[in-house]
Amino acid sequence: MKGIILHGGHGTRLRPLTHTGPKQLLPIANKPMSEYCIDAIKSAGILEIAIIIGGIGSEKVKEYYGNGEKFGVKISYIEQDLPRGIAHAINLCKDFVNNEKFLVFLGDNIINKNILDFAENFKNSDDDASILLCEVDNPSRFGIADMKDSKIVEILEKPKNPPTNLAVTGIYFLTPIIFDVIKNLKPSWRNELEITDALDQLLKMNKKISYNIITDYWKDTGTPEDIIHANRVILEKMKSFDNSEKENDVSISGNVMIGKNTKIKGKTEIIGPVIIGENCVIESDSKIGPNASIGNNSFISKATILDSIVMANCKINANISIKNSIISFNSSITSDKNTEKIFLVGEGTKINL
């Protein structure tokens, strides 16, 4: 089997975070969200991966992943000129797939489960496709599977009146028959070729689509709130480590991960789950956590940061409480005021309150 990661799209719901790069490179627990996809595909025993790129920051994707060697996989890149839909992107991979079964992962999907068993079952089955479903609270936001007698009878894209709450996650096991279906698809109202329409066509052709329901964690990280929520869940599952240089009166509790060459000064409180990257400085009287990520090479002084993501190379020198926020790479916040704020800050932003 081969793997495909969709790494395109405009990420409009995440602006300004996505003005300078693709949303799939936004970090969750200090790691790009699409790297979790690579980890999942690799854990399924699939080592050949094509990444579909297009739009803002495509070169950043290539720079980060390269040929895949440092991630233990072989990566190639396929360009999609415009966001023409998931099915269109999959169709670009026909030569790459080369008549094999394959796995498609949307690059902004986070799953907290090993999918090796799903991959092995599909590889050894006569299924024409297999999809992962997950119960959701807001089914009208997703493609939805309608069921009858424990079988999928229809797949609908973002229905106004969902027949079930079983969302089609962005993880698809497919066979080359899907390419025959896609070439006959018509664009949806969004002017895109929808993968849900392609799967529904397979059903109408009496092809066999199996499914598994994810009862562990799955998140389509389409909004800032989704990213902050995923960050918390991933942090809670991580194994603690502390490679910092810290003074005696530092208080650390809960699940905490701190990178090497990071200095934690006195009277600082860190309440897990928290991750702090490498080469950071956390000055006295700071409070980090719970549910906070601080990227590499960042400087924090006097601030309280919780339920938030601060990306790499940021400087926060302010007597300020920051919560439910995402602060992008290379940003700085300074203030003489004692205040509480929520930030959604794009790359390179400078704020002086």
Tokens matching residue 322: 């920051």
pLDDT at 12 (0 to 100)? 64
CATH 2.10.25.10 for the 239-352 domain, yes or no: no
C-alpha 194/C-alpha 212 separation (Å) is: 21
pLDDT at 19 (0 to 100)? 73
pLDDT per residue of the chain (353 residues) written in tens, 0 to 9: 999 999 876 556 677 777 777 888 999 999 999 999 999 999 999 999 999 998 778 889 999 999 999 999 999 999 988 778 899 999 999 999 998 999 999 988 888 778 899 999 999 999 999 999 999 888 888 889 998 888 899 888 888 899 999 999 989 999 999 999 999 999 888 888 889 899 989 999 999 999 999 877 887 777 899 899 999 999 999 999 999 999 989 999 999 999 999 999 988 999 999 999 999 999 988 999 999 999 999 999 999 999 999 999 999 999 999 999 999 999 999 988 788 888 898 888 898 88
- Sorted by where each begins, the domain ranges of the chain are 2-234, 239-352
C-alpha 42/C-alpha 178 separation (Å) is: 23
State whether the Cα torsion 215-220-226-228 is positive or negative: positive
Q: Which CATH superfamily is domain 2-234 in?
A: Spore Coat Polysaccharide Biosynthesis Protein SpsA; Chain A (3.90.550.10)
Tokens matching residue 152: 């999928």
C-alpha 76/C-alpha 60 separation (Å) is: 14
Q: Render pLDDT for 149-158 as a digit per residue (tens, 0 to 9).
A: 888 998 888 8
Tell me if 2-234 shares its fold with 239-352: no
pLDDT at 330 (0 to 100)? 93
pLDDT at 39 (0 to 100)? 93
> In sequence order, which residues have a C-beta less than 8 Å from that of residue 39 and are 6 or more positions away?
none
**Cα–Cα distances in Å, from 342 out to 120, 163, 183, 324, 327?**
44, 37, 46, 6, 10
pLDDT at 11 (0 to 100)? 56
pLDDT at 31 (0 to 100)? 95
pTM of the model: 0.90
Give the relative orientation of helices 224-237 and 33-43 as an angle to the nearest 10 degrees: 50
**Residue 204: what are its φ and ψ, rounded to 5°?**
-65, -25
pLDDT at 35 (0 to 100)? 95
DSSP codes joined into one string, 189-241: TTSS--HHHHHHHHHHTT--EEEEE--S-EEE--SHHHHHHHHHHHHHHSPPE
Say if residues 324 and 307 touch (Cβ distance below 8 Å): yes
Say if residues 77 and 70 touch (Cβ distance below 8 Å): no
- CA angle, corner 83, sides to 107 and 114, nearest 5? 15
- CA angle, corner 307, sides to 328 and 267, nearest 5? 95
